[in-house]
């Protein structure tokens, strides 16, 4: 047996013993539930426009004008933009309010529902750490760590690389909320959702929504049975990210959020990043998302907007993480530094570089491993067709979120760009954020200003 295989066997025996000792994942001695801010907060050092000879007046005027237009067109009620250059925060400004009634102005320390940005700030860091520990390898089948797929005719050979690069042919999405709602009358099925907690209904999804603790297994079965396309082309899918927290628990003996706290958020000093902020960050200013009419029947604030993540109890790798612009700037700067931050190597540099590389360009798939990437011919695109800014380098990477979030790191140009909004307020039909190309235009202007100063 090869030595690396022996290493994995020994590690997994250790994990089993650890799970027995700790109660199979109930390792709450460092859990965010009980210790959400036991480390010193990190923040990027302040820089200035003057230091890099940027034309700040012209840039400020253009940014202010576009953001005012976007708020007026109801692209979002409020937002904030943070830009870092060479590891220093050179711009951070807030705009508008939490809602259109103009009662709560946006503040720099506000928490946002990151939606799919969770994939690269929770799901991907966990996978990287599993790989560093020798538990997985990118070209291993996921079925090696997810037993239900081992006998699946269409999933047993799907690798982590294919799945995370959205090249595996997995179904894009499954609406598990359909299983919870009555089909012929309004309301939710009591066998799955109750309005008060009990031993059976222990997964809190909202103030008065408690999910049957067995429902996640029903979701896993749905994913296990889902069809896989035989056409191996780029097809975005978030299904595997719903499985990652349980894979982490089974392989390490730690709950997903505890694992991230110990291995990523704690070492980076991300004291304002967590799942379930209504429970774990009491008193925090949390920006609302949607006025929900199907599931929670109220304004969603402090609880994950994504219904699938909610039905898992709010802790998932596809959505559910909440954070601030400052915390996001730190983790994206860490990625831009290929895993190094504040003198510490948080992630293996070679891993970050590999994950940030386009994996299947021959299939017209721009994606890295988990990370989104620029369009393959992005530099030649107009502002209306580019993604992200045309001036973003081919080595850059990031991700966007359904709620109106966007983060991007460019190691080549040493630029980190953070955009946070709640464009789904009051409902998800608001698409002016996309139609006005707000994020792409802002991103491009900062590149232009930096290049003009060089």
For 184-219, the pLDDT digits (tens) are 999 999 999 999 999 999 999 999 999 999 999 999
Q: Has residue 37 got a pLDDT over 80?
A: no
What's the confidence (pLDDT) of residue 95?
98
> Considering the entire predicted model, what is its pTM?
0.92
- pLDDT (tens digit, 9 = 90+) per residue, 108-156? 999 999 999 999 999 999 999 999 999 999 999 999 999 999 999 999 9
Q: Among residues 331, 154, 320, which one has the least CA distance to residue 244?
A: 320
Asked if residues 77 and 97 have their Cβ atoms less than 8 Å apart, the reply is yes
Mean pLDDT of the region 27-53:
67
- pLDDT (tens digit, 9 = 90+) per residue, 40-52? 788 999 998 888 8
d(CA 149, CA 412): 39
CA distances from 146 to 4, 142, 158 (A): 20, 6, 11
pLDDT band at residue 23 using 50, 70 and 90 as cut-offs: very low
DSSP three-state, residue 273 = coil
Residues of 370-404 as b/e, b for ≥16 C-beta within 10 angstroms?
Answer: bbbbbbeebeeeeeeebbbbbbbebbbbbbbbbbb
pLDDT band at residue 434 using 50, 70 and 90 as cut-offs: very high
What's the confidence (pLDDT) of residue 452?
85
CA end-to-end distance (rounded Å), the chain: 55
Q: Has residue 39 got a pLDDT over 90?
A: no
What is the DSSP track for 392-441? Answer: S-TT-EEEEETTTEEEEEETTTTEEEEEEE-TTSS-TT--HHHHTTHHHH
Mean pLDDT of the region 5-20:
44
CA distances from 389 to 36, 146, 417, 438 (A): 36, 38, 11, 11
Q: Has residue 11 got a pLDDT over 50?
A: no
Q: Has residue 296 got a pLDDT over 70?
A: yes
Q: Has residue 34 got a pLDDT over 90?
A: no
Dihedral pair phi/psi, residue 113, rounded to 5°:
-75, 115
């Amino acid at each position: 047996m090869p030595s690396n295989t022996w290493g994995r066997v020994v590690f997994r025996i250790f994990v089993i013993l650890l799970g027995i000792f700790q109660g199979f994942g109930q390792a709450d001695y460092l859990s965010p539930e009980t210790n959400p801010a036991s480390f010193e907060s990190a923040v990027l050092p302040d820089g200035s426009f003057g230091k890099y000879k940027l034309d700040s007046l012209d840039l400020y005027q253009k940014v202010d004008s576009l953001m005012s237009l976007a708020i007026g067109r109801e692209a979002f009620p409020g937002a904030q933009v943070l830009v870092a250059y060479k590891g220093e925060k050179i711009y951070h400004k807030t705009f508008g309010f939490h809602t259109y009634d103009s009662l709560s102005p946006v503040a720099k320390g506000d928490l946002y529902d990151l939606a799919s940005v969770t994939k690269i700030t929770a799901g991907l860091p966990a996978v990287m750490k599993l790989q560093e520990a020798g538990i997985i390898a990118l070209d291993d089948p996921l079925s090696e760590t997810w037993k239900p797929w081992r006998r699946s005719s269409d999933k047993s050979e799907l690798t982590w690389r294919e799945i995370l690069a959205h090249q595996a042919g997995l179904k894009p999405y499954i609406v598990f909320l359909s299983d919870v709602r009555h089909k012929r009358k309004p309301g939710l099925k009591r066998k799955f959702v109750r309005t008060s907690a009990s031993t059976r209904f222990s997964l809190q999804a909202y103030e008065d929504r408690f999910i049957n603790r067995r429902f996640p297994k029903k979701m896993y079965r749905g994913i296990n049975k889902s069809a896989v396309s035989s056409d191996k082309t780029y097809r975005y899918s978030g299904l595997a990210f719903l499985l990652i927290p349980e894979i982490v628990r089974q392989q390490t003996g730690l709950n997903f959020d505890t694992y991230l706290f110990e291995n990523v958020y704690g070492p980076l000093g991300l004291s304002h990043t967590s799942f379930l902020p209504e429970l774990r960050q009491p008193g925090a200013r949390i920006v609302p998302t949607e006025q929900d009419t199907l599931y929670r029947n109220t304004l969603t604030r402090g609880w994950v907007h994504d219904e699938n993540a909610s039905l898992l109890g709010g802790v998932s790798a596809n959505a559910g993480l909440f954070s601030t612009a400052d915390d996001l700037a730190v983790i994206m700067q860490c990625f831009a530094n290929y895993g190094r931050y504040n003198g510490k190597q948080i992630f293996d540099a070679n891993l970050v570089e590999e994950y940030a590389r386009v994996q299947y360009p021959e299939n017209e798939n721009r994606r890295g491993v988990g990370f989104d990437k620029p369009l393959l011919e992005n530099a030649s695109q107009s502002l209306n067709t580019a993604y992200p800014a045309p001036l973003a380098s081919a080595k850059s990477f990031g991700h966007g979120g359904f709620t109106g979030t966007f983060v991007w790191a460019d190691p080549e140009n040493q630029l980190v760009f953070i955009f946070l909004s709640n464009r789904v307020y009051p409902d998800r039909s608001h698409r002016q954020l996309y139609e006005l190309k707000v994020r792409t235009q802002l991103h491009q202007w900062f590149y232009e200003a930096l290049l003009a100063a060089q």
